[in-house]
């Protein structure tokens, strides 16, 4: 964390729940005025984010937080948060509000510096939204719209990566193939030779694992294509598909990257990896760092590729480069880049530190021969603070890669607590309703003070509602102890003390997962972690 004053006045958060709270927490520490977007239902119920922010700005229409009515009715769904126009209008209304309420002279009106933070999900990866935010004179907490455009479309991202000498999974955009030959038969042949089976169909504008389909043999292709297109159209509003070789037994390992300018020069650094292989329906449930059993040499190679990926698009701000890792062959492939902060970023914040001394200071110490006698302190990294500072036009907060290190011995792990429960067939159903009580370790979840070993990032507290129309994630539990075993034990202990009344959650499942031998030992029994398909296969034994 940096003590220097930031060149920003306020932040408008185009998000809700734990994402909004996360941004508010840092913005407040930096002395910024905070505003959060909300729906009428959220305002009426006063969510944790609405309470925490200085201002709550309605997305629903011409109604505002001070009760001026007359707006159009809300659709009730998460739609307002993905409606660019509404979000932009809300941001502009906030700008007017804070101009009115502050005692600035009129000459300062134009210099009011407001950043828009998109959080994660919703509009966070929409290049056109970023563009519109910038055009309206706000600062944007994210990379340039151009970088978002290239990385947000899976086909162009693959091409950019190949040019940057980053290995990608064999695959091709179906558009391209279909334009060159119009027959289904031709498509089948092209895919068989240039991609191979099994393959996976993905929407090029996809996210959150939606609309993906594994095709094991050519005879399944026709139907799978139809279904994948249909799903892609509904989930992403675009049915362009990409076919990729489906890799069996791979792990999901991603690198946190951060880019910016320093002394007029572009630089990108990485903040080490997160292993996110424990997934259900391609969605992450557990994330950890370091990745269990990943050879140091491979880790470094992947990190370099991640930095090259960022450099290739002059990526500014926080991003994540995702890889699939084949542990048997010790080989990895670029999968995609997420052009935003991720849900699991606390794992990185728990385990990565920034050296107190910057490179020049270190050189000085070294030259004067004091190095061995000086214990260099380290400071924690706040990725939201980095985002806000870069958005404010400040330099990249670290001078070189060497200023960052991952604690050792240490192991950070995050568990996602969801309001969801399996039915008799084992299908997980999202739950909603009033939370009568939500405490961990005898303390209400909203009142936990983070420490170096435990952090709870929650979007709700006792007395809040889990609303049906939004993602049912309630909180993230992040622990960092000396090794994986101790971290798992501590998480297990915390889950035993977790009391959630009013809504059914996945806590009982998480408790079982943490005691599962394969989860603890890795599926090969040698501590090398589990592949992305592991949890789905193991699930019947865990319920
Ligand atoms: P999304 O953008 O929808 O999140 P990703 O491309 O990040 O989709 O993939 C999500 C998950 O799908 C991965 O973590 C992995 O489990 C699985 N997956 C994606 N591509 C492949 C592939 N080529 N082979 C095997 N599994 C894959």
pLDDT in tens, 146-162: 999 999 999 999 999 99
pLDDT score of 359: 57
pLDDT score of 175: 82
How confident is the model over 65-86, as a mean pLDDT? Answer: 59
- The rounded Å distance from CA 468 to ligand 1 centre is 27
DSSP type of residue 260: E
Q: How far is CA 212 from CA 224, 229, 331, 490, in A?
A: 10, 10, 23, 35
- Say yes or no to pLDDT of 74 above 80: no
203: its two tokens: 């929407």
For residue 171, what are the β-bridge partners? 244
Percent of the chain residues topping a pLDDT of 90 = 78
User: Is the beta carbon of 335 within 6 A of some atom in ligand 1?
Assistant: yes
Distance of CA 536 to the CA centre of its chain: 22
Give every CB contact of residue 408 below 8 A, 6+ residues apart in sequence: none
**Burial class of residue 440 (count of CB atoms within 10 Å of its CB; 0-12, 13-18, 19+):** buried
3-state SS, residue 498: coil
Tell me how far apart the alpha carbons of residues 39 and 71 are, in angstroms, rounded to a whole number.
12
362 — pLDDT class (breaks 50, 70, 90): low
179 — pLDDT class (breaks 50, 70, 90): confident
How confident is the model over 187-200, as a mean pLDDT? Answer: 92
Name the active-site residue from 16, 93, 213, 340: 340
Neighbours of 34 (CB within 10 A): 24
Answer positive or negative: Cα dihedral of 399, 259, 317, 322: negative
User: Is the beta carbon of 206 within 6 A of some atom in ligand 1?
Assistant: yes
- Say yes or no to pLDDT of 109 above 90: no
pLDDT score of 410: 97
How confident is the model over 316-341, as a mean pLDDT? Answer: 97
Tell me how far apart the alpha carbons of residues 57 and 190 are, in angstroms, rounded to a whole number.
51
* Helix (H) or strand (E) run with residue 114 in it: strand 114-117
Tell me how far apart the alpha carbons of residues 226 and 245 are, in angstroms, rounded to a whole number.
19
3-state SS, residue 348: helix
pLDDT score of 539: 94
269 — pLDDT class (breaks 50, 70, 90): very high
User: Is the beta carbon of 403 within 6 A of some atom in ligand 1?
Assistant: no
- The answer to whether residues 257 and 307 touch, using CB atoms and an 8 Å cutoff, is yes
Q: How does pLDDT run across 201-242, given as a tens digit for each residue?
A: 999 888 777 889 999 999 999 999 999 999 999 888 889 999
Q: How far is CA 223 from CA 184, 220, 242, in A?
A: 11, 6, 15
Nearest atom, ligand 1, residue 335 CA: 6
DSSP labels, 431-444: --EE-SEEEETTEE
Answer positive or negative: Cα dihedral of 187, 192, 197, 201: negative
75 — pLDDT class (breaks 50, 70, 90): very low
Lowest mean pLDDT among 3-12, 268-277, 438-447: 3-12
3-state SS, residue 169: coil
- Catalytic annotation on 93? no
ipTM attached to this prediction: 0.96
Pairing mode, strands 317-326 and 250-262: antiparallel
- Say yes or no to pLDDT of 188 above 90: no
Answer positive or negative: Cα dihedral of 175, 177, 183, 184: negative
Give every CB contact of residue 508 below 8 A, 6+ residues apart in sequence: none
Nearest atom, ligand 1, residue 212 CA: 3
- The rounded Å distance from CA 335 to ligand 1 centre is 7
Q: How does pLDDT run across 373-387, given as a tens digit for each residue?
A: 444 578 999 999 999
HEC letters along 144-162: CHHHHHHHHCHHHHHHHHH
74: its two tokens: 């809300």
- The rounded Å distance from CA 336 to ligand 1 centre is 8
pLDDT score of 60: 72
Q: How does pLDDT run across 22-31, given as a tens digit for each residue?
A: 999 999 999 9
- The answer to whether residues 212 and 201 touch, using CB atoms and an 8 Å cutoff, is yes
Q: What is the value of pTM for the model shown?
A: 0.92
285: its two tokens: 């449930």
pLDDT score of 205: 87
Q: Which residue among 205, 338, 532, 533 has the greatest number of ligand 1 atoms within 8 angstroms of its CB, and so is best to mutate?
A: 532
User: Is the beta carbon of 121 within 6 A of some atom in ligand 1?
Assistant: no
Pairing mode, strands 213-215 and 199-203: antiparallel
User: Is the beta carbon of 454 within 6 A of some atom in ligand 1?
Assistant: no
Tell me how far apart the alpha carbons of residues 244 and 169 are, in angstroms, rounded to a whole number.
7
- Say yes or no to pLDDT of 372 above 60: no
- List the strands of the sheet with 352-355, edge to edge: 378-380, 352-355, 404-406
Nearest atom, ligand 1, residue 338 CA: 2
């Amino acid at each position: 964390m940096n003590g220097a004053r930031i060149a920003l006045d306020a932040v408008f958060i185009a998000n809700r729940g734990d994402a909004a709270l996360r941004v508010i927490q840092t913005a407040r520490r930096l002395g910024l005025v905070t505003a959060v977007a909300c729906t009428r239902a959220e305002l009426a119920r006063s969510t944790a984010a609405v309470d925490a922010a200085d201002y709550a700005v309605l997305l629903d229409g011409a109604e505002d937080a001070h009760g001026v009515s007359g707006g159009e009715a809300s659709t009730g769904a998460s739609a307002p948060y993905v409606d660019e126009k509404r979000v932009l209008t809300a941001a502009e209304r906030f700008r007017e509000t804070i101009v009115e309420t502050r005692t600035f002279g009129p000459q300062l009106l134009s210099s009011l510096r407001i950043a828009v933070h998109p959080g994660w999900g919703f509009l966070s990866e929409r290049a056109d939204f970023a563009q519109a935010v910038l055009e309206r004179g706000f600062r944007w907490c994210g990379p340039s719209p151009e970088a978002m455009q290239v990385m947000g479309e899976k086909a162009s991202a693959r091409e950019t990566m190949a040019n940057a000498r980053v290995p990608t999974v064999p695959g091709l955009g179906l558009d391209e193939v279909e334009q060159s030959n119009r027959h289904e038969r031709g498509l089948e042949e092209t895919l068989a030779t240039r991609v191979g089976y099994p393959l996976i169909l993905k929407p090029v504008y996809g996210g959150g694992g939606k609309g993906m389909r594994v095709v094991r043999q050519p005879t399944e292709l026709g139907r799978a294509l139809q279904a994948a297109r249909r799903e892609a159209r509904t989930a992403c509003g675009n049915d362009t598909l990409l076919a990729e070789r489906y890799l069996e037994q791979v792990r999901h390992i991603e690198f946190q990257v951060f880019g910016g300018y320093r002394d007029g020069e572009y630089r990108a650094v990485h903040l080490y990896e997160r292993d996110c292989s424990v997934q259900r329906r391609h969605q992450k449930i557990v994330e950890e760092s370091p990745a269990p059993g990943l050879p140091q040499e491979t880790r470094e190679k992947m990190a370099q590729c991640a930095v090259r990926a960022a450099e290739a698009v002059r990526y500014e701000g926080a991003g994540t480069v995702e890889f699939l890792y084949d542990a048997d062959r010790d080989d990895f492939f670029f999968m995609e880049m997420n052009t935003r902060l991720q849900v699991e970023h606390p794992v990185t914040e728990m385990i990565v530190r920034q050296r107190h001394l910057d490179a020049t200071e270190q050189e000085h110490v070294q030259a004067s021969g004091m190095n061995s006698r000086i214990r260099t302190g380290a400071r924690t990294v706040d990725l939201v603070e980095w985002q806000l500072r870069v958005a404010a036009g400040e330099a990249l907060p670290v001078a070189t890669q060497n200023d960052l290190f991952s604690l050792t011995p240490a192991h950070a792990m995050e568990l996602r607590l969801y309001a969801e429960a399996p039915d008799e067939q084992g299908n997980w159903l999202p739950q909603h309703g009033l939370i009568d009580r939500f405490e961990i370790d005898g303390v209400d979840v909203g009142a936990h003070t983070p420490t170096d070993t435990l952090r709870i990032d929650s979007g709700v507290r006792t007395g809040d509602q889990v609303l049906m129309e939004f993602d049912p994630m309630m909180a993230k539990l992040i622990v960092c102890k000396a090794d994986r075993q101790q971290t798992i034990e501590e998480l297990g202990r915390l889950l035993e003390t977790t009391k959630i009344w009013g809504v059914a959650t996945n806590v009982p499942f998480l408790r079982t997962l943490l005691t599962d031998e394969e989860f603890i030992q890795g599926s090969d029994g040698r501590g090398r972690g589990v592949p992305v398909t592991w949890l789905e296969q193991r699930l019947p034994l865990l319920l």
